[in-house]
Amino acid sequence: MTTQKEFEPLNICVLTVSDTRNPDTDTSGQKLQESLIAAGHQLYDRKLVIDDIYQIRAVLSNWIVDTHAQVVLITGGTGFAGRDSTVEAVTPLFDKTVTGFGELFRQISYEEIGTSTIQSRATAGFSNRTLIFCLPGSTGACVTAWEKIIKEQLDSRHRPCNFVGQLSIKKT
């Protein structure tokens, strides 16, 4: 007998990495917050830091060891500009890399922005059973990633598989 799995709301953190945005102009972080709440998840925490490897790692490390934080969405710092350092800050912390996320994101983005998608270093991985997605800083890219990839993978009902069973299990 097949049983329908119930939706399991997750505790999700949002981190914006930017040298130019502030809480009032952080459209990407705001869009991610609105999207995760609309999908039935809980915003566990939200922060904004400058594009600095050690500030990014400090915030992220606190969430990785926090057994209540299950997912982290990072927006910004994934390009090739001089200060873009999100990927360098985050990837050494991964226990496992979700290689397919960056590949699929760029494939989907190609339909929207053409070859400019190769300038995205979007990536994802697990650290201490916390799933971390590193997204470009543009609001459009965050919408694409959320709507076309992340939303389904964070839905316990999505088949044939999703990431929910791989996440830390304690919640607020």
Q: What ranges do the domains of the chain cover?
A: 11-166
Q: Give me the architecture of the 11-166 domain, per CATH.
A: 3-Layer(aba) Sandwich (3.40)
Give me the pLDDT at residue 172, please: 47
Give me the pLDDT at residue 81, please: 85
Give me the pLDDT at residue 77, please: 86
Give me the pLDDT at residue 4, please: 75
CA distance 118 to 159: 29
Q: Is the dihedral of CA 86, 89, 91, 95 positive or negative?
A: negative
pLDDT category of residue 170 using cuts at 50, 70 and 90: low
Backbone angles phi, psi at 50, to 5 degrees: -70, 165
Q: In 1-38, which positions are buried (b, 16+ CB within 10 angstroms) versus exposed (e)?
A: eeeeeeebbbbbbbbbbbeebeeeebbbbbbbbebbee
CA distance 146 to 135: 10
pLDDT at 51 over 70: yes
**Average pLDDT of the chain, as a whole number:** 93
What is the reported pTM? Answer: 0.94
